[in-house]
């Protein structure tokens, strides 16, 4: 990992043919500055309009114990939204696979290596938890709130269109809505990224049909998961000015990893992670 120069998508391993490493290699991690993607939204690192984090789950983590016997685990990683860098997903997968033929004394040693390397790449502390493959924490749950997907609407916009958002300033409510129709595309390969999005807010009532049209408008948008969530947050704040807002996306797993960013006004945070059945 070279942090002496800015990382760009041209240098990223995503979309390139890759050989999977045989031994532990922290240099596989590929950090990307958040600032470049935040600039079009006028988000400054010195005054972020939100708090939040990026929760990653890894389902393909294994290493060898001191007798050479494989150990498998599921990992949860949490990056703070104010970290200067995110980590490109394919490089993360390659890095995790470099543990496969590497010997570690115990689970605590694995956690120590993961926390050290990922924190260095992100430029901020990353927390790591390991779970057994049958752990109850992995059981799926339904997203809270009201699903808006059954609303009958005509849709003809498939790139982000914040002007679609409508709210009733004379009717202040507190509610939680969600949709499973979120889709965006990888900014490097163009591969589809499928997800569900939750919007909890206190403020002028959102027109649900308009909100659904807006969510679907990301269907042909190319961006990282994290920045799609930030885009939605910024648009909702600008168009409807809620007193409190939480936007959380649960993206479908790809390559053994799923990414679940959330952004909120200070004081708001998601409840216990809602792992969805399709994740």
- pLDDT, position 4: 43
Burial of 1 (0-12, 13-18, 19+ CB in 10 A): middle
* pTM over 0.85, yes/no: yes
186, 223, 228, 240: which one is catalytic?
Answer: 186
Q: Which residue is associated with the tokens 């900014």?
A: 187
Residue 142 CA to its chain's centroid (Å): 18
The torsion angles phi and psi of 35, rounded to 5 degrees, stand at -60, -40
The torsion angles phi and psi of 190, rounded to 5 degrees, stand at 80, 5
Q: How, if at all, do strands 192-206 and 127-131 pair? A: unpaired
Burial of 83 (0-12, 13-18, 19+ CB in 10 A): buried
Q: How, if at all, do strands 70-80 and 85-87 pair? A: unpaired
In whole angstroms, give the CA distance from residue 88 to residue 65: 28
Closest to 160 (Cα-Cα) out of 179, 185, 180: 185
CB atoms within 10 A of CB 142: 10
117, 193, 223, 258: which one is catalytic?
Answer: 193
Indicate if 186 belongs to the active site.
Answer: yes
In whole angstroms, give the CA distance from residue 17 to residue 57: 24
In whole angstroms, give the CA distance from residue 267 to residue 252: 27
* Both structure tokens of 220: 């042909």
- pLDDT, position 6: 44
CB atoms within 10 A of CB 154: 6
Question: Contact 261/77 with Cβ under 8 angstroms?
Answer: no
| Residues whose CB is less than 8 angstroms from the CB of residue 74 and which lie 6 or more positions away in sequence, other chains included | 57, 58, 59, 61, 130, 131, 132, 133, 135, 138
CATH code for residues 146-264:
3.30.1130.10
Question: Contact 97/28 with Cβ under 8 angstroms?
Answer: no
Q: Where in the chain is the domain with CATH 3.30.1130.10?
A: 9-136, 146-264
Task: Give the CATH class of 9-136.
Answer: alpha beta
Q: What is the pLDDT along the chain (279 residues), one digit of tens a residue?
A: 444 444 555 555 555 555 778 799 999 999 999 999 999 999 999 999 999 999 999 999 999 999 999 999 999 999 999 999 999 999 999 999 999 999 999 999 999 999 999 999 999 999 999 999 999 989 999 999 999 999 999 999 999 999 999 999 999 999 999 999 999 999 988 999 999 999 999 999 999 999 999 999 999 999 999 999 999 999 999 999 999 999 999 999 988 999 999 999 999 999 866 689 998
């Amino acid at each position: 990992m070279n942090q002496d120069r800015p990382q760009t998508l041209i240098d990223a391993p995503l979309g390139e043919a890759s050989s999977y490493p045989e031994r532990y290699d922290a240099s596989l991690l590929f950090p990307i500055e958040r600032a470049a993607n935040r600039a079009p939204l006028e988000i400054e690192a010195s005054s972020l309009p939100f708090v939040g984090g990026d929760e990653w789950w890894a389902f393909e983590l294994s290493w060898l114990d001191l007798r050479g016997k494989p150990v498998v685990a599921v990992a949860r990683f949490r990056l703070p939204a104010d970290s200067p860098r995110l980590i490109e997903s394919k490089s993360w997968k390659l890095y995790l696979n470099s543990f496969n033929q590497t010997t570690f004394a115990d689970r605590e040693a694995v956690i120590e290596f993961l926390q050290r390397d990922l924190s260095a790449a992100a430029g901020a502390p990353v927390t790591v938890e390991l779970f057994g493959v049958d752990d109850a924490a992995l059981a799926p749950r339904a997203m809270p709130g009201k699903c808006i997907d059954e609303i009958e609407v005509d849709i003809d916009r498939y790139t982000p269109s914040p002007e679609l958002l409508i709210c009733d300033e004379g009717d202040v409510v507190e509610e939680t809505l969600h949709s499973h129709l979120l889709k965006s595309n990888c900014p490097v390969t163009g591969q589809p990224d499928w997800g569900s999005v939750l919007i909890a807010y206190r403020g002028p009532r959102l027109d649900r049909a308009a909100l659904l049209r807006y969510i679907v408008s990301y269907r042909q948008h190319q961006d990282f998961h994290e920045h799609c969530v930030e885009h939605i947050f910024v648009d909702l704040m600008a168009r409807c000015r809620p007193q409190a807002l939480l936007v959380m996306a649960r993206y479908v797993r790809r390559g053994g990893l799923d990414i679940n960013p959330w952004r909120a006004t200070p004081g708001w945070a998601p409840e216990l992670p809602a792992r969805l059945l399709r994740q």
